[in-house]
């Protein structure tokens, strides 16, 4: 047989899978790139669906958050001035200003007082000078600043209310006999 006849016999016996050239989609780098593009597309879609539209408007948070907080009802009065300028509690504010708790806002212990400022006859929350309230600032904890005097609550008070020995407006007044 001649060469031409052999080539024609070989081409007749070849199947379409064995005769075609490898396509681009059959190559590994193409498959990796396709998977990478699918992951990036999925990320972009999920991000668009989950991240609020106002994200990043004013910084690294939702811009709508500012308006949401501004629309909430205010519970706290503007400061100690609200207690002292109305002449309702001027003596207590002056008395406290001279002592250890003088830099604190009345609401740190008394809680939100805006309703009381608006309606002075409204009942105030009764304050119990117990270890839970006073301990929020004065409980001895590792790493707590030395500027605030701290105690080991259980050993210091033996379970008694702090107000048995301390006046909350002037904590050392009862102990040292000081009265402004």
Dump pLDDT digits (tens) for 110-148: 878 777 777 877 766 667 667 788 888 888 888 877 788
- Percentage of residues of the chain with pLDDT beyond 90: 11
Asked whether the whole model's pTM tops 0.85, one would answer no
- Residues contacting residue 106 through CB under 8 Å, at least 6 positions apart: 80, 83, 89, 93, 96, 113
Query: pLDDT per residue over 53-100, tens digit each?
Result: 898 888 888 889 888 888 887 777 777 777 776 667 888 888 788 788
Residue 115, number of CB atoms within 10 A of its CB: 14
Q: Rounded CA gap, 76 and 60, in Å?
A: 27
pLDDT band at 40 (very low <50, low <70, confident <90, very high): very high
Residue 19, number of CB atoms within 10 A of its CB: 8
């Amino acid at each position: 047989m001649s060469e031409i006849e052999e080539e024609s016999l070989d081409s007749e016996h070849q199947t379409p899978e064995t005769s075609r050239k490898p396509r681009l989609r059959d190559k590994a780098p193409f498959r990796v790139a396709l998977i990478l593009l699918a992951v990036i597309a999925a990320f972009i879609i999920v991000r668009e669906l989950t991240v609020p539209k106002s994200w990043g408007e004013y910084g690294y948070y939702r811009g709508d958050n500012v308006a949401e907080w501004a629309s909430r009802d205010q519970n706290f009065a503007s400061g100690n001035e609200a207690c002292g300028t109305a002449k309702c509690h001027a003596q207590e504010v002056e008395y406290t200003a001279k002592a250890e708790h003088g830099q604190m806002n009345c609401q740190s212990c008394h809680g939100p007082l805006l309703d009381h400022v608006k309606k002075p006859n409204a009942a105030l929350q009764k304050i119990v000078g117990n270890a839970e309230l006073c301990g929020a600032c004065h409980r001895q904890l590792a790493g707590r600043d030395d500027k605030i005097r701290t105690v080991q609550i259980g050993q210091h008070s033996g379970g008694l209310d702090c107000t048995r020995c301390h006046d909350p407006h002037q904590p050392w007044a009862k102990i040292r006999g000081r009265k402004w």
